[in-house]
């Protein structure tokens, strides 16, 4: 089983990568490998689209500072295998409605949902704050490369698009292996 850590870096200190015992790639959005658009969701989706046919068996996606949301990130990253096909690494598992309430009112999750899925939008979402997550390759490949390209295009128009916050709430659905 091979594993890759995908890091979305902006201004964070990523010297912690020296403690990783697995492969990693760091996308620098401040002055480097990717334009600074779309928050971390853009980085994750970019990596999936560019590497769709050569993904690692397990992927862990994280912001440049995962420790705000997952104190034990180094241990999580270096563990032999993911506990399940999709895992959220966060101190805070929270719920919101289709408009982001109670913690982030004003998100039109339903609008993005209807662009991506052909089933009715749920009234509530459970997600891990911080968008640090692990997913097995088969869960990524459940959706087509075209699906991920469509998602990526939703994030390319601004540095801090509202869709970036919405994707944080949609990762469990995107990687659930069943929602159409």
Is residue 99 scored above 90 in pLDDT? yes
Residue 180: pLDDT above 80? Answer: no
pLDDT at 63 over 80: yes
Following CA atoms 52, 159, 86, 141 in sequence, which dihedral angle do they give, to the nearest 10 degrees? -20
When the pLDDT of each residue in the chain is averaged and rounded to a whole number, the result is 94
Q: What are phi and psi of 87, to 5 degrees?
A: -135, 135
Return the axis-axis angle of helices 145-153 and 109-116, rounded to nearest 10°.
150
pTM of the entire predicted model: 0.95
Mean pLDDT of 22-40: 92
Beta bridge partners of 60: 5, 134
Q: What is the pLDDT of residue 31?
A: 83
Contact predicate 86/143, CB 8 Å: no
Category of 123 on φ-ψ map: left (φ > 0), alpha (ψ -120 to 50) or beta? alpha
């Amino acid at each position: 089983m091979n594993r890759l850590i995908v890091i979305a870096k902006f201004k964070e200190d990523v010297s912690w990568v020296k403690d990783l015992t697995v492969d990693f790639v760091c996308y620098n959005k401040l002055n480097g490998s990717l334009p600074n658009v779309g928050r971390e969701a853009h980085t994750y989706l970019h990596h999936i689209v560019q590497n769709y046919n050569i993904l690692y068996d397990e992927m862990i996606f994280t912001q440049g500072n995962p420790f705000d949301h997952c104190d034990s990130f180094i241990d999580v990253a270096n563990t032999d295998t993911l506990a399940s096909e999709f895992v959220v690494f966060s101190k805070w598992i929270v719920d919101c409605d289709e408009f982001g309430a109670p913690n982030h009112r004003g998100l039109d999750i339903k609008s993005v949902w209807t662009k991506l899925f052909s089933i009715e939008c749920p009234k509530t979402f459970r997600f891990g704050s911080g968008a640090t997550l692990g997913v097995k390759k088969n869960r990524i490949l459940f959706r087509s490369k075209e699906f991920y390209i469509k998602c990526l295009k939703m994030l390319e128009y601004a540095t801090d698009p509202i869709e970036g916050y919405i994707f944080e709430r949609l990762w469990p659905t995107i990687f659930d292996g069943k929602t159409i």
